[in-house]
């Protein structure tokens, strides 16, 4: 393998630790491990690791403005659990759901699935949105060969959806009413919305109109369900759009903070982020619905390439336990994908590797809840970290293992 022209970095940014692998132009390989959060010493762990390696190898890591010199870097590839942990710990953006009139409780009801069918004490997963706006608009399919309301007496506009399906527009969006409702959301401090309308998988106009108004009013994130996923079923499409609106602002805040410490904000640089499906995407296209398994996906791709023996064909089980979450997966010669998966009680309709994630890791906090000793899902993270870090942190699984001598 020929040495790179510039420094190549591969980064795994977890909730507790950040691991960095670097290939230098002289062919040398460097590895570095840092706490993901250590505000007394640095703002961002991946950027700090890059700076230290560049400084040690070149002696000149910073430009005249005190930022990391991106001209020395050929590529950066990163997988991060920022989205995973935000969903597990419910630390995403404050967001609202915009949906057809009469359907405000649709996602609360969900698909009525009961994960633990014999459990008498049913606890519903928390919805991600803080508020709901109902929009009085409606379209229906034109079922020419089936029983349907006589449209000959109605003044309904016909339209052709993107799938080629004929649709009937029963009621258009009242843009003035939507504008007033969205202004009220802004006054409540909500800057992110998910727009979910029935049949928008083929008829986009109503969602687009609402999205345009929201953008004009200054909403920072507008997730239109037909753009996030073209799923016909409105419930999983709605769940996915809400996850996107909930997580994307959190991800963009992190990505911006990371890039701002480099020359020109890494504009024009080859910076790619791992997605849930095991593929890579430019950092400006990295969004919430495709980022939930970003960190774990990198681990699956890594062990699949290094641990699987084609001669024996024996499947490999991946067990990736970090400070905040634990991920379990399987590889038997090809990456196993699913198109619908539930993480932390949220069902998402998007291609992703078949990984089971639970909110249990070395930093999971131990405390009493309702008279029972429980672990997590809250994590001590890297700051303050477990009590044994001596930073005033809480009791965690790591501390229990330390006391047990394990």
Residue 396 lies in a domain: yes
Residue 389 lies in a domain: yes
Residue 135 lies in a domain: no
Q: Which of 105-119, 225-239, 248-262, 280-294 has the lowest mean pLDDT?
A: 105-119
State the burial class of residue 142 (Cβ atoms within 10 Å of its Cβ: 0-12, 13-18, 19+).
Answer: middle
Q: What is the CA radius of gyration of the chain?
A: 24
Q: What is the pLDDT of residue 152?
A: 55
CA torsion sign, 64 to 70 to 71 to 73? positive
Residue 380 lies in a domain: yes
pLDDT at 148 over 70: no
For 385, the domain range is 364-404
Cα separation, 287 vs 290, in Å, equals: 6
Q: Which of 303, 306, 305 is nearest to 317 (CA)?
A: 303
Number of domains in the chain: 1
Mean pLDDT, range 344-352, rounded to an integer: 85
Cα separation, 129 vs 156, in Å, equals: 33
Q: What is the pLDDT of residues 47-101, one digit of tens each?
A: 999 999 999 999 888 877 889 999 899 999 999 988 887 887 888 999 999 999 9
Read off the pLDDT band of 126 (50, 70, 90): confident
Q: What is the pLDDT of residue 99?
A: 96
Q: Map residue 266 onto helix, strand or coil.
A: helix
Tokens of 27: 């062919």
From the CB of residue 124, how many other CB atoms can be counted at a distance below 10 Å? 9
Q: What is the pLDDT of residue 6?
A: 87
Residue 397 lies in a domain: yes
Cα separation, 110 vs 340, in Å, equals: 14
Q: What is the pLDDT of residues 263-277, one digit of tens each?
A: 888 887 899 999 999
Q: What is the pLDDT of residues 200-256, one digit of tens each?
A: 999 999 999 999 999 999 999 999 999 999 888 999 999 999 999 999 999 999 999
Render 178-201 in DSSP notation, one character per residue: HHHHHHHHHHTT--EEEEE-TTTT
From the CB of residue 145, how many other CB atoms can be counted at a distance below 10 Å? 5
Percent of the chain exceeding pLDDT 90 equals 51
pLDDT at 389 over 70: yes
Q: Is the peptide bond before 78 cis (omega within 30 degrees of 0)?
A: no
| Maximum distance among all Cα pairs of the chain, rounded to whole angstroms | 79
Residue 385 lies in a domain: yes
Cα separation, 126 vs 367, in Å, equals: 21
For the chain, what's the residue count? Answer: 406
Residue 155 lies in a domain: no
Q: What is the pLDDT of residue 151?
A: 54
Residue 368 lies in a domain: yes
Q: What angle do CA 253, 254, 259 make, to 5 degrees?
A: 100
240: Cβ–Cβ under 8 A, 6 or more apart, which residues? Answer: 225, 228, 229, 231, 289, 347, 348, 349, 350
More confident residue, 400 or 118: 400
């Amino acid at each position: 393998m020929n040495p790179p022209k510039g420094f190549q970095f591969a980064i795994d940014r977890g909730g507790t630790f950040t691991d960095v692998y670097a290939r230098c132009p002289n062919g040398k390989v460097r590895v570095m491990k840092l706490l993901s959060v250590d505000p007394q010493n640095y703002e961002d762990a991946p950027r700090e690791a890059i700076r230290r390696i560049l400084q040690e190898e070149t002696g000149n890591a910073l430009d005249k403005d005190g930022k990391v010199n991106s001209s020395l870097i050929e590529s950066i590839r990163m997988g991060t659990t920022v989205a995973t942990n935000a969903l597990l710990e419910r630390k995403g953006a404050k967001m609202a759901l915009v949906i057809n009139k009469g359907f405000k409780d649709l996602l609360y009801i969900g698909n009525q699935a009961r994960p633990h069918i014999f459990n008498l004490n049913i606890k519903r997963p928390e919805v991600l949105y803080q508020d709901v706006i109902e929009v009085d608009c409606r379209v229906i399919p034109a079922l020419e060969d089936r029983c349907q309301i006589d449209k000959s007496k109605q003044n309904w506009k016909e339209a052709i959806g993107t799938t080629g399906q004929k649709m009937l527009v029963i009621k258009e969006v009242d843009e003035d009413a939507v504008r007033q409702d969205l202004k009220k959301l802004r006054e409540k401090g909500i800057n992110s919305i998910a727009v979910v309308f029935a049949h928008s998988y083929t008829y986009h106009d109503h969602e687009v109109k609402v999205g345009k108004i929201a953008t004009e009013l200054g909403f920072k994130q507008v997730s239109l369900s037909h753009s996030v996923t073209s799923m016909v079923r409105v419930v999983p499409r709605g769940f996915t759009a809400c996850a996107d609106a909930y997580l994307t602002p959190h991800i963009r805040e992190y990505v911006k903070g990371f890039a701002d410490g480099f020359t020109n904000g890494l504009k024009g640089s080859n910076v790619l982020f791992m997605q849930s499906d095991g593929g890579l995407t430019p950092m400006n296209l990295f969004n919430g619905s495709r980022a939930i398994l970003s960190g774990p996906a990198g681990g699956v791709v890594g062990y699949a390439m290094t641990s699987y023996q084609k001669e024996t064909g024996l499947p490999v089980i991946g067990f990736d336990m970090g400070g905040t979450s634990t991920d379990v997966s399987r590889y038997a010669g090809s990456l196993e994908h699913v198109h619908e998966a539930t993480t932390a009680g949220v069902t998402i309709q998007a291609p992703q590797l078949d990984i089971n994630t639970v909110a249990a890791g070395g930093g999971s906090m131990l405390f009493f809840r309702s008279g029972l000793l429980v672990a997590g899902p809250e994590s001590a993270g890297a700051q303050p970290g477990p009590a044994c870090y001596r930073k005033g942190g809480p009791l965690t699984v790591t501390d229990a293992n330390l006391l047990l001598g394990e």
